[in-house]
Amino acid sequence: MKIIQITDLHVGRADEATMNVDVRSNFLNILEKVKAANPDLLVISGDLCFDRPHVTIYEWIKSHLDTIEIPYLVIPGNHDESTMLAKSLDLNGLLKNEEVYYLKKWDNWTCLFLDSAVGKMSDEQYTFIENALSNATKNCMVFIHHPTAKVGVPFMDNKHAFKEMEKIQGVFSKFDGNLNIFCGHFHVDRIVQFQNQNIFITPSCYVQIDATSNNFKVDHYRIGYREIELLEDRLLTSVYYL
């Protein structure tokens, strides 16, 4: 099973200034790569919208996703609004009290898709995670917009981190095995090993952030995506830049 993850598209409204980055072209270019790679699944891990969410942005993205004939799944980021995203992308069935979270199983893999859009999660979502992990296969993975541990990127770690790290780490650490967690949000390419968790941070389709700076600073403008191949007893993953 081959999955491609793209993240942090930050597409603006038709008339919105996007800091001199042609975010719509970026998305269309990355979609061409996805089409050529022909994965079994495309996952978009949040921040579809540039700054503030808008129905027309989701509709524009969906109109292009629907042309590539590759199944796709979406979770929201902090620049999305979960209810608006679910309604605009026809994910109504996945919406639970203003959060979009769900579970998929393929062969011997379990995959959780979580909603960290507001930087924290409801008690219901934590209960869902606990139940899902207690019934999960040994091979288990998670998609969540926010990294769930500090990753050594000072600007994002200090100013924009997930607000309930200890709480979610407590839930993840109870899983009897290694959890592979795929995130976006930080606009960097990084892998962090923490407790039983391998945290893979995928670069953005917008700009990459300088991982050493205390303040917002663009590192570079090349956009990237992640490929994940699920095998019987391991996964292989790489980041590719356009």
Shortest approach of Fe ion to residue 106 CB, angstroms?
27
How far is Cα 62 from Cα 123, in angstroms, rounded to an integer?
30
Shortest approach of Fe ion to residue 41 CB, angstroms?
21
Nearer to Fe ion, 156 or 179 (CB): 156
Shortest approach of Fe ion to residue 133 CB, angstroms?
26
Nearer to Fe ion, 8 or 81 (CB): 8
Nearer to Fe ion, 60 or 146 (CB): 146
How far is Cα 104 from Cα 179, in angstroms, rounded to an integer?
15
Helix (H) or strand (E) holding 26, with range, is helix 23-37
Write out the DSSP string of 32-83: HHHHHH--SEEEEES--BSSS--HHHHHHHHHHHTTS---EEEE--TTS-HH
Whether 136 and 171 have beta carbons less than 8 Å apart is answered as no
Nearer to Fe ion, 41 or 48 (CB): 48
Beta pairing, strands 224-230 & 2-6:
antiparallel
Write out the DSSP string of 100-148: E-EEEEETTEEEEE---TTSS--HHHHHHHHHHHHT--SEEEEE-SS-S
Contact residues for Fe ion, defined by CB under 5 A: 8, 47
Nearer to Fe ion, 168 or 185 (CB): 185
Shortest approach of Fe ion to residue 60 CB, angstroms?
18
Nearer to Fe ion, 88 or 208 (CB): 208
Give whole-number Cα distances, 93 to 5, 100, 101, 105, in Å: 22, 9, 10, 17
Shortest approach of Fe ion to residue 81 CB, angstroms?
14
Shortest approach of Fe ion to residue 10 CB, angstroms?
6
Cα separation of the two ends of the chain: 23
